Structure 1
């Protein structure tokens, strides 16, 4: 098959195929290749454009690859991609340099070094201005304070990579094939309908990126994929680069090319110097042989209605719009005071008066949180997505999706990966509304090169989802953060008086770690340990499981023994086939054939709830109650006294034991009360229908005034749960860890049969090489940040998963996974954070109330 011409589009399409991949760009080709490498047969790839120059973002992109990210999965996917593309000779490993023109950016570049060290990128380092100019002679070293260098960064030759995929994947590729419809029946994908025929299929992968929203609509899905315009120019040949050879004009010979062929020609011309970024002005650059390419996010966001993407034609590449010179020459970015042209002229003086051989407003996409959208959709079985992915991460996510589809375990060669932040099911119900996701996608575009503060929160589309306690919380001065659309209090200004009470126990925090924090969080923590507090848990989810086979079903999907009595509560895990932790859940037996499964908020309902629903037999009903319950965590040594005032039920130690449940009344409010506590204190979770929520809060609040009852926010919850070593899914545990590594063997009963058991048996036989471990700082009260490297004798042995100050123990805490040989209490380690090197010590857990006297009182 000749992948260099449109002749490959002439054969008739098959009438059926096991798997159809829609989109033959970087991601679709990667998915198809990796599927066939894993043994998948009968894979068909279709694309609306000619092949290999499809007309999507894969062929208009300059192909620059900077691998370092604060996200572990993004960094690991990028590194896999760079190694893979290097192996197939489609990658120029020229290195990447990010420059700093401000002290704030130099601090950020130090974080780059720490992230790269944590996640395994080789040899990251900081450079002086002179060292930057040695490698990037076009840079005026007087304009910069330094740079960050990653030697394995570089540039992908997009067309060459696509050609390689098409030649080496054991799949059939069809260009010039427009998808018209996705046929779905009984919640399953049946067929892909094209303008050249109908293909019946058992699985379909949507890898259409810029057209992702439109493709999803064919199956009735509202995928929150926002196309956004992005500016790039290439100069005419420059005297300063005259020593470089150029093959522009020869790269696309014999290929059908929609639109401006010069764009593909120049993008196919490789760099001879490191690729560069000036994030202080939202710019990046690379050489194209003897010309200079310059890209800009330095303009107001230019989102496109996803329904208006249009189609390719001989004269038009649909993913490229006309260059808007005003956005290049005027400062339209809301956070930048210089235009792209002006900022480039200062940093790269030789570019100031250059004419441009090529200009474009190229289109690529963003989700509301800026992360990819991959995985099987909840609404349609067999319909998978691989969207919002750049060349930088394309091979990595192709491998992850293929492993997920074939083996049920998303993974890279380095091991299983965490999927909570990338799963297509993570999006909340409102995320598919077009105005919402276009606004949020545009904001993510605006922030691509911005320094985003810790715990930053958006200003728009707020108060979408509020608990029945919201107005009471407002009156108490709640400082809200948004997650999954929910407004959750982080701390309450009404508790400011507590700061004076506990002043000696709350150390001052400054610098980057202190941003968007409050001493009130520590005060609420300490108050709860001594008195009683109310915590809004409404964003948490309950899932009802009912039917004659409920126990057998839960026994199959839960890692712990589900043969429990009515009124008993059991902590368990949901695992994937590889033994990775999909969720930690609390299971309550309400009646002989009725159970309540509680899990976290945010993306938990979409990911965990739907995982249960699709595995339930016909004799079991699974219903996800997201927002249908108003829930209060009532915690602290005075919680029993307060609760007993409001109920006739027996809540004594003997009458309401730990990990037990009762259906009872609090005042007039019917609740399911669980004797559990996520903060390590005596307490209850009180679950009530939402319409009773306001009265539930009011009843407890009024009854507890003489007990000094206080509201408590998420900041206190985090520090308290770390003191107790309680896990948080998506932070400490995820699909990249198994229960034994995560210190949760007590939640696994190997005498039962459950999903993932076989993988755990293998893990036990092979031995557990890594374990989650608490460490505390030896001589500092600073709060560490996640993603920062943990060292032993100068070598990285782990990185911070979660951290906070333990106000009850008076020490700064971090949790990390360490090789087993370093997990013995007393082992000395170091942590790098914000350019500082901290001495730390491995500790046994829990750090607080090891005998559980407080929680069992």
Structure 2
């Protein structure tokens, strides 16, 4: 077997994803592209995929990628001569409850914001478009006319052929058996032929892990973490049904089922709530186009409901009962991008049963990223750097995968928390908070108090699209912070210590703000990319002449640390993750100074400890560091205390707090307070594709500094003026709720969507934030328009502001 001894890139895995990456790299003109498949192309998961092509995803960019896939597949046959079977027959999703109907109608509003054709349907209109359905219990539905279905294997083969036509080498029956590593780079891969007769080594500049359900093991071979686990996925195909013509795809999520007409037969598939993980002891070396054992007892409840919903199924014979493995990730989003642990290992794996509809978009995105060295747009939902190291733990993945398959069709309630694989990461205050009635949520594995139950109230979520059972609890916490004093746990936020003789120069290179500040100064800043987009939103505290503390959101700690490491170069700087070493209690509100004066002899006055400064303090019988900053828009301090003294400091503050009415608060309060103050939320309001000027954060960039990443782009945008402006909206009607992605209507025209939303308990109605395109317009022009927000198809009038509606001059934090 002849294989080259050198390649620019080696792609591991010949499913639809690997073929798409090869196709798109060659389309960009890449040569020396080698794809290695252990058995035959498509023989893992691709060959048995259902081939549904849905276009509406949870965010604008994920929707853009899904739409690209559909458009690509429509043209592939003409380009390659391989039939993809792509046809856009549309899809219908139906609801059996009022809650699900609200979810579907909110998704329809989102589709309008994203430019996807959509139509809300009454039960009778559902029947008119899908005559075979039994309407029993149906409350309504939505119609997406451009959705479709295709032949998964042929799509992969067409992509492979397109890649070959442009010079890629696609080799079947070649397994990657090992990798050579030099520091943070893979220098080549070892391979062996399927029959064991040939073996060799290919030196390469980079690799792409497209190994599907083998992705975790291939990741370990490359020294990177790719958390995913295979689960059994069931469907049946009936015998031929007389007179059955082409039909739209039908989804009935409340019954965990989807239906697809296929050549006069009906395919019924399931995403059941309690899935069956598979492959706990590894995957057989001989696995190729394999099926798993039937489990009719497991599938029977789905089939029973389906026969009621689709009466013709009761008459049709079952031609095929199929069970095949697919890989699922801890959060039901796929893995894409440059692995954090290495500088030339890319990942595209773990597609959670949406691999066919995602393959085109994922391939083009990854190829462009590999070409440019920067993400072409925000893909935070799926960026592999969102995964934390512990999430590669086998036991964790086994437990979580039982839930994630079913979550595809579960109600996607706002604030819904995962139920499995919980309690892995706990702050030093965890037990004390639970004793006080904390109801925990999870972020990056961290257990965080989201709200506090009242005495006698069940300390658990009761989910809804309306006001949930904790709404009034959070309102009371919000009121306490605005009017008195509240305390909440911020220990989960990332803490990165950056130190060394060149720490100041290094951070000045990476950050937009000036890091040449006195010891004790806290600087709010962003890490920018070359386009002036925001890669991270952090505070940086100067601890000494040679040491800084970078505080990041919990979810982006690894991504932010990775960005710092990739830009260090040969500077004399050491970066250390110290997140777990300190607990952090935020003490916020007009009486926060009064409370701290009760427990510490330190001087918390403006003269000694003004806003934006930190000081070492005694507290109770221990020591801590008090950072005077606020994400809730009130006077307050974040108290950093070493983990060993955390319990003591918590008890000290709680005891002294009884005299001033201290209230324990959760993350929901923090979010509702920050949105009233128009503070941006990274990953929602600000991302890598949002220029810092458009985001309204130009004040945090010092253009007088020597060259730093993104300086030219920020200067250019400051000169030309923003192309969009971040606007804060307050609904006129106090009843509707905002979450995110609700369309923004300006003077009757759809112009964008909300990047975040929450209830403003002090302002008295729901508050949203979102970008309004305004190229060539002044701030007055933007504010001179009338605005509405589309909430589930209803247009609600909203007041718009470019300044925070709460305390626009930030007087409260500086008193």
Give the TM-score normalised by the residue count of structure 1: 0.87
Deviations 1:746-783 (A, max 9, x none): 11222332223344345456653212100111132432
Report what 2:803 is aligned to: 845
Which runs of structure 2 are paired with 1:585-664 in the superposition (5 Å)? 585-601=538-554, 603-618=555-570, 619-664=572-617
Give 1:382 shift: 1.0
Q: Give the drift of 1:143.
A: 6.8
Residues in 1 aligned to 2:765 and 2:254: alpha-carbon distance in whole angstroms: 36
User: Which residue does 1:264 correspond to in 2?
Assistant: none
Alignment of 1:316-395 (within 5 A): 316-318=288-290, 320-328=291-299, 330-331=300-301, 339-340=302-303, 342-389=304-351, 390-395=355-360
2:46 paired residue number? 58
Q: 1:78 aligns with which of 66, 75, 79?
A: 66
Report deviation, 1:344: 2.6
Q: Could you list the per-position Cα deviations for residues 440-497 of structure 1 after superposition, in whole angstroms to 9, with x for gaps in the alignment?
A: 1220112221213221223333332222222221222112212122121122235999
| Candidates 811, 814, 834, aligned match of 2:768 | 814
Instruction: Choose the corresponding residue for 2:5, options 2, 15, 18.
Output: 15
Q: Deviations over 1:142-172 (max 9, x none)?
A: 6744431111100123233223322322322
Q: Is the 8 A contact 1:495 1:520 kept in 2?
A: no
Report the Cα distance in structure 2 between the residues aligned to 1:145 and 1:587, rounded to whole angstroms.
Answer: 52
Matched, 1:235 2:238: yes
Conserved? CA contact 2:628–2:638, under 8 Å: yes
What is the CA–CA distance in structure 2 between the aligned matches of 1:103 and 1:855, rounded to whole Å? 43
Shift of the 711–749 alpha-carbon distance from structure 1 to 2, 3 Å rule, reads: same
Post-superposition offset of 1:546: 0.8
- Spell out the pairing of 1:474-553 with structure 2 (5 A cutoff): 474-493=434-453, 512-553=465-506
The CA deviation at 1:532 is: 1.9
Deviation at 1:141, TM superposition (A): 4.9
DSSP-derived class of the 1:364 partner? strand
Q: Does 1:176 align with 2:173?
A: yes
Corresponding residue to 1:829 among 784, 787, 792? 787
CA apart distance, 1:15:
1.1
Cα contact 1:27–1:207 (8 A) shared by 2: yes
Deviations 1:481-531 (A, max 9, x none): 12122121122235999xxxxxxxxxxx99623125331211111122222
Mapped partners of 2:224, 2:379: distance in 1: 24
* Counterpart mapping for 1:598-747 below 5 A: 598-601=551-554, 603-618=555-570, 619-747=572-700
Structure 2: stretches of 5+ with no match in the other structure: 78-83, 193-198
Native 8 Å contact 1:366 1:442 kept in 2? no
Of residues 142, 158, 168, the one that matches 1:164 is 158
Separation of aligned partners in 2, 1:808 and 1:424: 38
- SS where residue 659 of structure 2 aligns? helix
Partners of 1:86 and 1:93 within 8 A in 2:
no
Q: Hey, what does 2:394 align to over in structure 1?
A: 434
Tell me by how many angstroms 1:285 deviates. 1.8
The structure-2 alpha-carbon separation of the partners of 1:128 and 1:519, relative to structure 1 and needing over 3 Å to count, comes to closer
Contact 2:273 2:407 (C-alpha < 8 Å) held by counterparts: no
Q: Is the 1:773–1:816 contact (alpha carbons within 8 Å) kept by the matching residues of 2?
A: yes
The alpha-carbon deviation at position 676 of structure 1 amounts to: 0.9
How far residue 299 of structure 1 moved from its aligned partner, in angstroms, is: 7.2
Report the equivalent of 2:91.
96
1:301 aligns with 2:275: yes
Q: Aligned partners of 2:242, 2:463: CA distance in 1, in Å? A: 49
The one of 402, 410, 413 equivalent to 2:367 is: 402
**Runs of 5+ in structure 1 lacking a partner?**
1-10, 245-271, 332-338, 498-508
When residues 108 and 781 of structure 1 are mapped into structure 2, their CA distance, relative to the original with a 3 A threshold, is closer
- Measured in 1, the distance between the counterparts of 2:727 and 2:333 equals 28
Q: Secondary structure at the match of 2:470?
A: coil
Using the TM superposition, give the Cα deviation of residue 79 of structure 1 relative to its aligned residue in structure 2, in angstroms: 1.4
Q: Are the equivalent residues in 2 in contact too, given 1:479–1:490 (CA < 8 A)?
A: yes
* Native 8 Å contact 1:222 1:433 kept in 2: no
Deviations 1:562-605 (A, max 9, x none): 2212222111101233332111111111211111111121x222
Shift of 1:206: 0.5
Q: CA deviation at 1:686?
A: 1.6
The alpha-carbon deviation at position 856 of structure 1 amounts to 0.9
Query: How far is 1:207 from its partner?
Result: 0.7
**Residues 180-329 of structure 1: pairs in structure 2 closer than 5 A:** 180-195=177-192, 196-241=199-244, 272-298=246-272, 300-312=274-286, 316-318=288-290, 320-328=291-299
2:425 alignment partner, one of 436, 460, 465: 465
DSSP 3-state at the match of 1:34? helix
Secondary structure of the residue that 2:767 maps to in structure 1? strand
CA distance in 2, matches of 1:769, 1:496: 52
CA gap of 1:513–1:167, structure 2 versus 1, over 3 A, is same
Look up the match of 1:44: 34
SS at match of 2:398: helix
Q: Which runs of 4+ in 1 moved over 6 A?
A: none
Secondary structure of 2:275's aligned partner: coil
Equivalent residues of 1:496, 1:520 under 8 A apart:
no
CA change 1:538–1:745 in 2 (3 A) is same
| 1:710-769 Cα deviation digits (max 9, x unpaired) | 222212211111111111212221223121121111112223322233443454566532
Per-residue CA deviations over 1:367-417 (Å, capped at 9, x if unaligned) read 111111122222222111111221111111112212222213323xxxx22
- For residues 191 and 160 of structure 1, the distance between their equivalents in structure 2, rounded to whole angstroms, comes to 30
| 2:725 counterpart (762, 767, 771) | 771
Whole-Å Cα distance in 1 between the matches of residues 445 and 647 of structure 2?
Answer: 20
Determine the C-alpha separation between the residues in 2 that align with 1:38 and 1:744.
35
Decide whether the 8 Å contact of 1:727 with 1:733 is kept in 2: yes
Secondary structure in 2 aligned to 1:162?
Answer: helix
Q: Deviations over 1:314-355 (max 9, x none)?
A: xx514x323333333x22xxxxxxx32x23322322222322
Query: How far is 1:549 from its partner?
Result: 0.8
Contact 2:103 2:412 in 1 (8 A): no
The 3-state SS of whatever aligns with 1:92 is coil
- 8 Å CA contact 1:47, 1:177 repeated in 2: yes
Alpha-carbon distance in structure 1 between the residues aligned to 2:33 and 2:805: 53
CA RMSD of aligned residues (A): 2.4
The 8 Å contact of residues 513 and 784 in structure 1, kept in 2 or not, is answered as no
Residue 739 of structure 1 aligns to a residue whose secondary structure is: coil
Q: CA deviation at 1:227?
A: 0.7
* Cα separation, partners in 2 of 1:827 and 1:306, compared to 1, 3 Å: farther
Query: Matches of residues 146-161 of structure 1 in structure 2 within 5 Å?
Result: 146-161=140-155
TM-score, normalised with respect to structure 2: 0.92
Summarize the Cα distance change of 1:511–1:185 in structure 2 as closer, same or farther, 3 Å threshold: closer
Q: CA deviation at 1:58?
A: 1.5
Cα distance 1:528–1:803, how it changes in 2: closer, same or farther (>3 A)?
same
Residues 795-840 of structure 1 show CA distances to partners (whole Å, capped at 9, x for unaligned) of 3212122222222233321111112259733532222223433111
Assess if the C-alpha contact under 8 Å between 2:225 and 2:389 holds in 1. no
Contact 1:830–1:840, Cα closer than 8 Å, also in 2: yes
Contact 1:453-1:515 within 8 A present in 2 as well: no
Task: Specify whether residues 31 and 490 from structure 1 end up closer, same or farther in structure 2 by C-alpha distance, changes over 3 A only.
Answer: same
